Chains A and B, each alone.
Chain A
Amino acid sequence: GDSVTQMEGPVTLSEEAFLTINCTYTATGYPSLFWYVQYPGEGLQLLLKATKADDKGSNKGFEATYRKETTSFHLEKGSVQVSDSAVYFCALSANQGGKLIFGQGTELSVKP
């Protein structure tokens, strides 16, 4: 079946460091890929998405490129801030009806 695997956390970085959170997927067909962010005590918010191979999603300085050849959708940011501390979820949607399959989440902590 379809699945998403994320790098394990927690990830701790200093402010202004470079961030990469790895995400790989297994899916039949041509899924859409998403990154969601969850701040403490809140629900998930869409961070960015890509719907076909080689698409790059971007938002708030975060980027991820849909790589079909490596079945990956790694999240990157050039310079993290304390306010980026959150849990990040990679997800895919491969079927009609909009059902999502989530990775287990990666907790990011950014220190001043």
Chain B
Amino acid sequence: NAGVTQTPKFQVLKTGQSMTLQCAQDMNHNSMYWYRQDPGMGLRLIYYSASEGTTDKGEVPNGYNVSRLNKREFSLRLESAAPSQTSVYFCASSGVQYNQPQHFGDGTRLSIL
């Protein structure tokens, strides 16, 4: 079972470069999420998508854009990377009801120099 697949696993960028993080799920989930994880801060929600065709801002959306390409795929784009965006990024998916657990990918470790 693949679950939630993120690519790439590691990436190093220079300040000002752009890149897109890819995420795909095979569980037929309606909702998908992007988080960043920083030491001592837990996980913070960047953007989420409750269904295909909809996206909403989370706690820390500045500097990011997202696209819900179809039900399976939800991408995160950094248009002009900054060192403050160095982090580990996780994609997750879930059913729409509030008591449904989220399923996480293995993360993308992003360093911006």
Contacts and interface: CB of A to CB of B under 8 A. Distances in A.
Contact of B99 (A32, A89, A102): A32
Contacts of B42: 89, 102-105
Contact of A98 (B90, B97, B106): B97
Interface stretch (A13-21, A42-50, A69-77): A42-50
Categorize the interface residue count of chain B: 20 to 34
Contacts of B43: 44, 89, 100, 102
B61 interface: no
Q: What does DSSP make chain B's interface, helix, strand, loop or mixed? A: loop
Q: What does DSSP make chain A's interface, helix, strand, loop or mixed? A: loop
Contacts of B50: 97
B89 to A, nearest CB: 11
A43 B105 contact: yes
Interface string A52-68: 00000000000000000
A52 to B, nearest CB: 9
B40 A100 contact: no
